[in-house]
Every structure is written in C-alpha cells, then in structure tokens.
C-alpha cells in the first residue's frame, strides 16, 4: 500500500509530470495535496492502471484532495527551454495554482528545480510509493491524454489518440510521410533525435 506522506504533520504536495518523452504535444504536470491521514488502496502509478481506472480515480482524487492543480508547458516553450526545464516549469505552474500553500514538496524522479523557498525531496519511482505523487501522475496523464485526443481530431494521420504523441513506429512513419505539425517538438534531446531519425 502506498504511503500517506513523506513528512508528517505538514501540508505536503506531491508532483509528477506526463509527456516528457513525447515527440508532440505539451508536457503536463499535476500537484496534489491530501489530508495527512489520507488512505486509498486503489491509487497507484498511473502507468500501472487502465485508462478507465485512471478516469475513475481522477474524479475521486479531485473530490478528496485538499487542493489540486494542473500545469502545462506547450511544445514551443519546450523547444526554447528544453524538456527537463519544461517539466520543472509545468510543476511550478501547477503549484502556483494551489489554493493552499504547501510546506513541503515531494516530486517523482531524481531532479527538481527549487520552488520559492519551500523544501522538497525527490523520490525515484515516487508514483509507486506515495499517494499524492500517484494522484499527481494520474491527473497529469489523464488531462494530457484528453488534450492529445482532441488534437487527434485535427491530425488523425499521426494516431495521437493511441500513442498520445509518443514515438511509436506509426507516429514516426507519419512524420516521415507528412512532416511536422505546429504541435511537434522541433528540438529533441539526443535520444529523441535518434528516434526521429526513422532508421527502421
């Protein structure tokens, strides 16, 4: 069972992002504050859940959270500041929107850029360890998926309704055949550059 908190007796927010490894679309991040004694046996890393279960849990998270918010950084901003900084910025934007100021931040992963003067801890695979991070992973994932589903209606050849902008073979073939859209990320880190090279 996931743990309720990292630091006891404080207002703690969990943060996670979705869409970092994509070729198209924005990166989304979410921030979630639960009561310190919150329990939910169904919450888990969003990648371990079905789409239906994620959508069901999203409603529960939004109902149960003391405060929650979603931050977005689009592909143009990603190209300007790089995907790592964009992920941090999306988390900062999510925290900015919270109705309650957190006293401590826990973030999925091993890196984070300090937000104001609030102490933080990075937790590797934190979305499988802490309820607030798991909840943030679900919110970020579901809201981003909804947005990519909408974009799919404009650009169906890229199959975003299925791949959500990730570098699947069908997505890369569509880029080769039809070029980039205004929603594609023009600059990529070395890993994504290799994926985009279309060496099938």
Phi, psi of 94 (to 5 degrees): -65, -45
SS3 65: coil
Cα distances (Å, whole numbers) of residue 150 to 24, 101, 165, 177, 184: 13, 32, 12, 22, 15
pLDDT digits (tens, 9 = 90+) for 56-106: 999 999 999 999 999 999 999 999 999 999 999 999 999 999 999 999 999
Q: What angle do CA 117, 108, 152 make, to 5 degrees?
A: 115
Q: Is the pLDDT of residue 198 over 80?
A: no
Q: To which residue do tokens 């055949």 refer?
A: 177
User: Which has the higher per-residue pLDDT, 193 or 42?
Assistant: 42
């Amino acid at each position: 069972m996931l743990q309720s908190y990292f630091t006891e007796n404080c207002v703690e927010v969990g943060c996670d992002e979705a869409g970092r490894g994509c070729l198209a679309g924005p990166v989304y991040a979410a921030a979630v504050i639960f009561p310190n004694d919150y329990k939910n046996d169904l919450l888990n890393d969003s990648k371990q859940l079905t789409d239906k279960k994620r959508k069901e849990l999203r409603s529960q998270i939004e109902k149960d959270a003391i405060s929650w918010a979603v931050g977005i950084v689009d592909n143009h901003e990603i190209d300007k500041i790089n995907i790592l900084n964009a992920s941090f910025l999306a988390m900062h934007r999510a925290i900015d929107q919270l109705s309650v100021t957190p006293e401590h931040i826990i973030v999925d992963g091993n890196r984070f850029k300090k937000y104001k003067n609030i102490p933080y801890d990075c937790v590797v695979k934190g979305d499988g360890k802490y309820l607030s991070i798991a909840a943030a992973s679900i919110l970020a994932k579901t809201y981003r998926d909804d947005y990519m589903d909408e974009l799919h209606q404009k650009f169906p050849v890229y199959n975003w309704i299925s791949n959500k902008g990730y570098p699947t073979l069908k997505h890369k073939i569509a880029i080769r055949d039809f070029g980039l859209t205004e929603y594609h990320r023009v600059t990529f880190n070395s890993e994504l550059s290799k994926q985009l090279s279309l060496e099938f």
